[in-house]
Every structure is written in C-alpha cells, then in structure tokens.
C-alpha cells in the first residue's frame, strides 16, 4: 500500500471517527506472497480495504485479529504457520505462544509469517454542556488529555463513535434540557455540576427511571473539597480519568 493511499484512507476514517487497524508483515519464512513491510488497512468489521498482506490463506486470520484488536483496544502479534510447522512445535490455531497468537496457513506454499496488528481508535469525546465558569475551566484543563472536546449549544447529540463523557455545567441555565440530552445519549459517563439537594429536586422532573438516573454523577467530580471553578474542573477531570481507566491497569 502506497504511503499516499494509506494517508488518504486513514485521514478519511479519522475524519469520520471510525476505528480501524493497520496490519504490518514483520517477518516471513519460506515462500509467502507478502514480504516484510507489507501493510494493509483493516476496517472494524474485518474488511481489508487497502493494501496487500497475502491471499485468502492468511486474510481470514488477519481480519479476525483486527476485529479483536479494535474491540479490545489492544495490539496483536499474529504468527501464521503451515500445518506441519504447527505439529512440529506442538502448537494449534487459537492458542497464544510466547506473546504470539497462533494461526494456520493453509496455502500450498507453506510459508510462515508474523504480522503486527495495531488498532487505531477515535479519541474519546468530552462533551461539555453549558457556558458556566466551571465549563470554561474544564474545557481548558482537559486539553492535554487526548479528548475530542465539544461544547454544543443545543439539540440532540449525534450517536457516539467512541467513548463519550458528558459534563453538565449549566449551573441554572437550561439544567433540565441538558440532563435530558445527556440521558438520551449513549454516554459512558455523565456528570452534573450541582448540589445533592438540587439534583434530587430536578430528578423528580425528569422522565427517567431509577437506573437511568443512577448513571448521573452528582455532584460531579471526586471529593477534594474543591471551591473555585478550576478546582471543581480538576475534580471532574480526575473522576473522568478514573472512570475511563477503570480496569485497564495491571496489578
């Protein structure tokens, strides 16, 4: 796949906020159609849309690895070997050996290859509803944290294409409308800047069941005794990072 073609394809997918994977051949043994350095762009459904990494003997294994890599946001190293090589080393398709996921090459050429599959995912969205001092402080503070930050003025939100975090910092200006917008979205996190008492009062006016209301963190943010808009924004961003990274760290 030429660099220009790769750049155009990845730019198109990035603009559309669609996930994809890049599969790169890093090692070959024996006769193989693709050689080290060959690359292919694989869509989220496993379709190989650009590039060349071999024929049907290896494409299914790459497609499957790309789907898994995208779904789990984790790179894969695939070792595709002919049947006799698998028997010789006591390996079987589907198992992981020395950090490599084993797959079978059914091609008559009986070559072997290793392919690195790297997922490329849209950045998580941080949607900030409101124009209060807390909203402005959060939009500034969150800049280095690799979010796509949006501050829509009104209307329904489009369907998310990645993880979405919503913070409602309306602080008395359109609270109910913002809460309904957030509840109607497929958000991974919803935070509402308010007191316990205010949220309890507004909850009675929302057309939402208890499970939906339980999705809302109110007051938004970790309990750090924040006072200023900047401190409140810091507590909210810390809570978002904690929510986003939950379960990702290895102990």
Q: What is the pLDDT of residues 180-239, one digit of tens each?
A: 999 998 899 999 999 999 999 999 999 888 999 999 999 999 999 999 999 999 999 999
Q: What range does the domain containing 26 cover?
A: 3-120
Do residue 136 and residue 84 come from a single domain? Answer: no
In a domain? residue 89: yes
> pLDDT tens across 110-120, in order?
789 999 999 99
From residue 228, alpha-carbon distances to 27, 83, 233, 235, 236 in Å are: 56, 65, 9, 11, 12
Residue with tokens 């409308």: 177
In a domain? residue 149: yes
189: its two tokens: 């996190």
Kindly report the CATH number assigned to the domain that includes residue 170. Answer: 3.40.50.720
Do residue 111 and residue 146 come from a single domain? Answer: no
Q: Is the pLDDT of residue 17 over 90?
A: no
In a domain? residue 135: yes
Instruction: Kindly report which listed range (30-34, 102-106, 134-138, 158-162) carries the lowest average pLDDT score.
Output: 158-162
Q: Is the pLDDT of residue 2 over 60?
A: no
Q: Is the pLDDT of residue 27 over 90?
A: yes
State the pLDDT at residue 3: 64
Do residue 174 and residue 241 come from a single domain? Answer: yes
Sorted by sequence, the CB contacts under 8 Å of residue 231 that are 6+ apart come out as 224
In a domain? residue 62: yes
Do residue 100 and residue 201 come from a single domain? Answer: no
Do residue 82 and residue 49 come from a single domain? Answer: yes
Average pLDDT, the chain: 90
Do residue 241 and residue 131 come from a single domain? Answer: yes
Model confidence band, residue 31 (pLDDT cutoffs 50, 70, 90) = confident
In a domain? residue 229: yes
**What is the tally of structural domains in the chain?**
2
């Amino acid at each position: 796949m030429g660099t220009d073609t790769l750049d155009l394809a990845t730019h198109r997918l990035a603009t559309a906020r669609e996930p994809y994977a890049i599969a790169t051949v890093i090692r070959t043994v024996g006769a193989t159609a693709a050689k080290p350095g060959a690359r292919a762009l694989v869509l989220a459904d496993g379709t190989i849309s650009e590039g060349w990494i071999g024929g049907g003997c290896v494409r299914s294994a790459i497609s499957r690895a790309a789907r898994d890599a995208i779904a789990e946001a984790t790179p894969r190293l695939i070792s595709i070997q002919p049947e006799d090589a698998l028997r010789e080393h006591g390996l079987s398709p589907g198992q992981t050996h020395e950090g490599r996921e084993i797959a079978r090459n059914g091609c008559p050429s009986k070559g072997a290859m290793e392919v690195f599959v790297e997922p490329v995912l849209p950045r998580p969205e941080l949607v900030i509803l409101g124009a209060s001092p807390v909203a402005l402080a959060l939009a500034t503070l969150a800049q280095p944290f690799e979010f796509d930050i949006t501050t829509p003025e009104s209307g329904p939100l489009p369907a998310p294409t990645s993880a979405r975090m919503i913070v409602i910092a309306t602080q008395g200006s359109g609270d109910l409308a913002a809460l309904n917008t957030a509840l109607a979205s497929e958000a991974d996190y919803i935070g509402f800047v308010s007191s316990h008492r205010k949220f309890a009062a507004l909850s009675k006016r929302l057309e939402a069941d208890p499970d939906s209301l339980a999705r809302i963190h109110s007051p938004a943010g970790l309990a750090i005794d924040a006072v200023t808009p900047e401190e409140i924004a810091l507590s909210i961003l810390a809570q978002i990072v904690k929510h986003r990274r939950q379960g990702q760290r290895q102990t």
